[in-house]
Amino acid sequence: NAGVTQTPKFQVLKTGQSMTLQCAQDMNHNSMYWYRQDPGMGLRLIYYSASEGTTDKGEVPNGYNVSRLNKREFSLRLESAAPSQTSVYFCASSPIQGGSYEQYFGPGTRLTVT
Amino acid sequence: QQQVKQSPQSLIVQKGGISIINCAYENTAFDYFPWYQQFPGKGPALLIAIRPDVSEKKEGRFTISFNKSAKQFSLHIMDSQPGDSATYFCAASSGDSNYQLIWGAGTKLIIKP
């Protein structure tokens, strides 16, 4: 069991470039999440997918798009990167059923936009 | 009303001491209160969680105390060890939001040997 995997681990982009962050989980979880983490601000939800085929905006969705490709995979796309998107991005998954609400996190992607 | 306020931002405790981190919330619909632990370079991981039908939950050296009337909950780490040095996040959620977590801002805990 790999749990939640994210690629890449590090990325440097120039302003205006685009990229996709990949996330996959092998725990058969229904729900998946994308967060960004900035110093002193905790974790902020960008987008989430409650189940395969659905996606919804979180607290800070502007500048991002997501795709729930199948039950395992949930990708985050930056269409035109801006320096304000420099952050650490975490993907998480959760069963959200049977009374289990724990979120399992990937190792993160450190993104710098210059 | 969706906020979870966490304090302190940072905390230094001597080895063997008690570390206490506090959180407060406003939304009375919250019914699940987890604490997550994050080590540098890693994603957060669930440490312990509580439901509002109990006032305390203990797992080893970690205890959550919950005060429903005050809308506050806290994490106590007994006999704190250098390996406990990490950032701790409280969070809250409810069934009517599909258990999306509302996160506190985090507390950086340093245990001095």
Structure confidence by residue, pLDDT tens digits, A44-98: 999 999 988 899 999 999 999 999 989 999 999 999 999 999 999 999 999 877 6
pLDDT at residue A40 tops 80: no
Chain A nearest C-alpha distance from B23 (Å): 13
Partner residue facing A50 (CB), from B42, B49, B98: B98
Q: What are phi and psi of A113, to 5 degrees?
A: -115, 120
**A69: its two tokens:** 């490709």
Which residues of chain A are within 8 Å of residue B105 when distances are taken between CB atoms?
Answer: 40-42
pLDDT band at A14 (very low <50, low <70, confident <90, very high): very high
Type and span of the H or E element at B7 = strand B4-7
Task: Please classify residue B96 by burial: count the beta carbons closer than 10 Å to its beta carbon, then call 0-12 exposed, 13-18 middle and 19+ buried.
Answer: exposed
> Whole-angstrom Cα distance, residue B92 to residue B51?
10
The strand pair at A19-25 and A4-7 is best described as antiparallel
Chain B contact for A4 (CB, 8 A cutoff): yes
Chain B contact for A90 (CB, 8 A cutoff): yes
Chain A contact for B45 (CB, 8 A cutoff): yes
Range list of β-strands (E), A1-114: 4-7, 10-13, 19-25, 31-37, 43-49, 56-57, 64-68, 74-78, 87-94, 104-105, 109-113
Amino acid at the residue A92: A
pLDDT band at B97 (very low <50, low <70, confident <90, very high): confident
pLDDT at residue A5 tops 70: yes
Chain A contact for B97 (CB, 8 A cutoff): no
Q: Are A23 and A6 in contact (CB under 8 A)?
A: yes
Find the DSSP H helices in chain A.
Answer: none
Q: What is the mean pLDDT of chain B?
A: 94
Amino acid at the residue B16: G
> Whole-angstrom Cα distance, residue A114 to residue A104?
30
> Whole-angstrom Cα distance, residue A105 to residue A45?
13
Q: Is residue A83 helix, strand or coil? A: helix
pLDDT score of B99 = 76
Asked if B100 lies within 8 A of A45 by C-beta distance, the reply is yes
Asked if A90 lies within 8 A of B43 by C-beta distance, the reply is yes
Find, in chain A, the residue whose alpha carbon is nearest to that of B42. A107
